Amino acid sequence: MHPLPLEQLLALDRRHVWHPYAALPAQGPIFPVRSARGVYLELETGERLVDGMASWWACIHGYNHPRLNQAAHAQIDRMSHVMFGGLTHQPAVQLAQRLVAWTPEPLQHVFFCDSGSVAVEVAMKLAIQYWYNRGRPQRQHFLTLRRGYHGDTFAAMAVCDPVNGMHHLFRQSLVSQYFAEAPRVGFDQPWQEEDIDSFARLLDQYQGEIAAAIFEPIVQGAGGMRFYHPEYLRRVRQLCDHYDTLLILDEIATGFGRTGKLFACEYGPVCPDILCLGKALSGGFMSLAATLTTGEISQTFAQGEAGVFMHGPTFMANPLACAVALENLNLLASYDWAERVAAIAQQLEAELAPCRDLPAVKAVRVLGAIGVVELHQPVDMAVVQPQFVAQGVWLRPFGRLIYTMPPYIIEPPQLQQITAAIATVVAGLT
């Protein structure tokens, strides 16, 4: 591949490439990346940016990590891909074994898939087919929370916030689901029992139709970066048990240490019937996700009408992705990641706290390696993003939120560069 001159690269990008959540031609600047290493992105224009996004929260060990690179090199010499139907391979088997060992004990079986959205689709299909296998095909719907986000595919969109979420344009094309009010009690606030009332009322009213409850534990991510009380998790688990309803937890954003626990459900602690994982699973090296479930659920499929679970991605359990993911988990286990995340949280809290006094700021909140500055008004991305680049950092705000979810390997001076840039840019907002 011959490198293109910068102007030609950008011109071709604007002519042919459709970027996520963007129009054509792209509005605002596009920043071409030449290489990435550690916590840094190097642009074609020469700037070196501290990445405060971990590439949408996935690259928890940064870029070009030698252990992940070596795992990829070793695997690619054996095979980069092989179909998973009727075949198996060591990277997938060992990765499944590790995921079962790390997640709560009732979760025993792993279905590999390609992305977080697909992991959610798989979870929802599992729940519907499970009830069909048990002779209750009327249980086709889902109970979820407002202000939630679960992905961009159709079933996943149907359980995202139907009014304030990014998918409201598709409401008429989506299957209608049931939405409880979002939790109001914050993570560190005193618990108020009425916070669970909306969820309890809907589950009681529609219990015969609901296949599962599905939501993000502790952190509502792309729907608003909101942190809520662990007691909500416990109460939902109790209600699902009482009404014989499955519980799906979407830990695609929170899994593998981001909140300070290995999995956010540990704050309950609760165990879901179905668990969705993605993003940090491969350390951001390749797209890979997984849906885990219990033996009680999986054993019904052989006896059901179909006799099998009706799903099978072409690139399911890609050996290259599985090999890198396994080494990523080995790497995570090789150091005190919890101590590292706690240090990041302490620094974020101290250095973002002054933002609370700025006129443009509504709230500042921190949980684990997540720091959020919520504004009164939405940001103008075309204006704000170049300001962060000028400060030497990469952040991707959305709506009224300026936030950082950095790699765990970030050092205090690098994190300080991010928090200082946030304070500087926010101070200039009106």
Please identify every residue annotated as catalytic: 21, 149, 250, 279
What's the first-to-final CA gap in the chain, in angstroms? 46
As given in the structure block, the two tokens for residue 159 are: 């359980």
Proportion of the chain in helix, strand, coil states, percent, rounded to 5:
40, 20, 45
As given in the structure block, the two tokens for residue 362 are: 């509504």
Q: Where does 104-211 have alpha helices with state H?
A: 116-133, 154-158, 197-206
CB 353 within 8 A of CB 113: no
The Cβ of residue 1 has, within 10 Å, a number of other Cβ atoms equal to 3
- CA neighbor of 409 nearest in space, from 71, 43, 51, 73: 51
CB 329 within 8 A of CB 98: yes
d(CA 401, CA 52): 14
Residues sharing a CB contact under 8 Å with residue 74, sequence separation 6 or more, in sequence order: 323
Max CA pair span of the chain: 63
Q: Is the peptide bond before 378 cis (omega within 30 degrees of 0)?
A: no
Cα 355–chain centre separation: 26
| DSSP type of residue 171 | G
As given in the structure block, the two tokens for residue 196 are: 């669970």
Cα angle: 249, vertex 255, 258; to 5 degrees: 130
CB 113 within 8 A of CB 313: yes
